[in-house]
Structures are given as structure tokens and as C-alpha cells.
Structure 1
Amino acid sequence: MELKIIRTTAEYKSALSEVSAFFDNQPIPGTSEGDRFEILMMLVERYEQEHYPIAPPDPIEAIKFRMDQQGKSPKDLAPMIGNTSRVYEVMARTRTLTLRMIRNLNVGMNIPADVLIRDMSVTAKAPRQRVTAKKSIAAKKVAIVHK
């Protein structure tokens, strides 16, 4: 195969088949085969970036992934995010990450800041209803009547 910019799926498949042969027996860098392998890899990578882009992960998914990699639990995030309830709110998507949290997670867990800054979908909380003493007593009376 002639070395040129990969523009079609057929050229991409051809380049992949040639590169896969090099994976089994990697050529020595600096040799003509080594240079060919390196150039082919650059061409394949460029084609894949254009035709098969990979979107950066969601911030919460990135945190979960890093927690799994590092064997951490939500309690381990408390120094970076806040108290344990705040950690669970963030992980449940009911609270967004603050700048302070992003900085702490970037340093503490080595998660790229640009991943943490991305918009994350936040689940709206159901409005809280205040329970007054009268409502509470009325609810108890209803419960007793229906027994």
C-alpha cells in the first residue's frame, strides 16, 4: 500500500490490515519498516479521529471510573467534595460540581479538569413538603381509622 492520506473505508481497512501484521512482529524504530509502521499508525489515528470521534466522558462517569480504578468508595471522596451526603448528592446528579470540587478531584484523583468541567445532567429534586404538627396528627388519625 502506498502511504497517503486515508480517505475511504476501503483505504482504512487496508491500512488496518497492514498495521495489524506489524503488531505481531513490531519493527525496529528508525528502520524503513519502523518508519512505515509509525506513519501508518499516524494515518489510521487521524482517520479514526475524524470518522469515529470519542466524546469525552460525563463528569460523574469519569469519577466512577476513577473510583473503580483506584479502589475508592464514596466515603473516600468526602475530603474532595464535602461531607458524605454531599458526595451522594453529586453522584446521584442532584448537585452539580463546584469549582472547588473540580479542583480537588483534579488533584486528588488525577481526573482531567476539562472532563470535570463539562455539563452534567442534573436530576431535579422533588420539592420538599413541610410536615406540620397538624398534618402529622391528621395523618396518624387517618392511619388509625383505616386499620
Structure 2
Amino acid sequence: MELRPIVTEEDYRGALREIDRLWGAEPGTPEEAQLDAWVSLVEAYEKKHHPTPQLDPVETIRAHMEWNDYTQADLARLLGSRSRASEVLNRKRALTLEMIHKLHSEWGIPAELLVRPYDLDAA
């Protein structure tokens, strides 16, 4: 397939096939350059046509816990107490700067994903 902008879903599927074909290309080869170009084009198309919703900070923590097999007990150890972890996960308590720092420095969650505004449960 000729390297060109992705305009249609058919172009998109073709680009994904090209990425599959080129996957594992040797570094420094023309095939690797093509792979990089296709990946960039696919990323741009997906950003425009298949945007992923941004998670709020609590959803981000939950997703990170799931991906890394962390439990609520792990979060409690990080935040200092079981009740604090529960309150954060149940949107009863807002994240503090100290909590955000710990989540970032110890769990590697990007701070910019944790500092966004989000709704607390008013109940």
C-alpha cells in the first residue's frame, strides 16, 4: 500500500494491515521508517475519528489498579489508611496534593491525569 494520508475507514484498515506487515522491522531500515510513518498516520486518524474519552482522576486510579493488579489494600497502604482509600474511590474525598504526589512517584501515574477537576459524590 502506498504511504498516504488516511481519509476513510477503508484507508484506516489498510494502514493497520501495513503496520501488521511491517511490525518488527529492523532498526534503521526503510521498513522501520515506513512503520513509523504508518503509526503516525494511524494515530492522527484515530485521534480525530476514534477519540478515547479521558478518564477522570478516580477512573484513572481504578484503571491503573486493574492494569497492575493492585488492590484497594495496596491503595490504602499508599494513601495511609483503608478509610481514605475507600473515600477516594467512592468519591467521598478529593485527592490532595500529597496523595497525587504519592500516586505519581510510587505508582507512576502521570500527575497531569490526577490534577483534573472531577465530581465528588454529594451524598
**Shorter-chain TM-score: which interval?**
0.7 to 0.9
TM-superposition CA deviations, 1:30-75 (whole Å, max 9, x none): 2233322221222112211221122332222222233344444333
TM-superposition CA deviations, 1:109-145 (whole Å, max 9, x none): 21111111122231112xxxxxxxxxxxxxxxxxxxx
TM-superposition CA deviations, 1:63-91 (whole Å, max 9, x none): 22333444443333345434322221111
1:10-49 matches, cutoff 5 A: 10-23=10-23, 26-49=24-47
- Tell me whether 1:88 sits opposite 2:86 in the alignment: yes
Match of 1:2 in 2: 2
Match of 1:64 in 2: 62
- Taking structure 1 as the reference length, the TM-score comes to 0.68
Identity of matched residues, %: 38
Segments of structure 2 that go 5 or more residues without pairing to the other structure are: none
The two structures, once aligned, show a CA RMSD in angstroms of 2.2
Pairing partner for 1:73 from 67, 71, 74: 71
Q: 1: CA distance between counterparts of 2:106 and 2:16?
A: 38
Deviation, structure 1 residue 93: 0.9
Give secondary structure in 1 for the equivalent of 2:94: coil
Q: 2: CA distance between counterparts of 1:32 and 1:107?
A: 39
Aligned residues: 123
Q: Which has the larger radius of gyration?
A: 1
Runs of 4+ in 1 over 4 A off after TM superposition: none
Range with bigger deviation, 35-44 or 88-97: 35-44
Q: 2: CA distance between counterparts of 1:55 and 1:15?
A: 23
Give the letter for the 2:17 counterpart: S
Give the letter for the 1:116 counterpart: L
Give secondary structure in 2 for the equivalent of 1:75: helix
Give the letter for the 1:86 counterpart: R
Match of 1:110 in 2: 108
Distance 1:31 1:72, change over 3 A: closer
Give secondary structure in 1 for the equivalent of 2:98: helix
Q: 2: CA distance between counterparts of 1:71 and 1:16?
A: 30
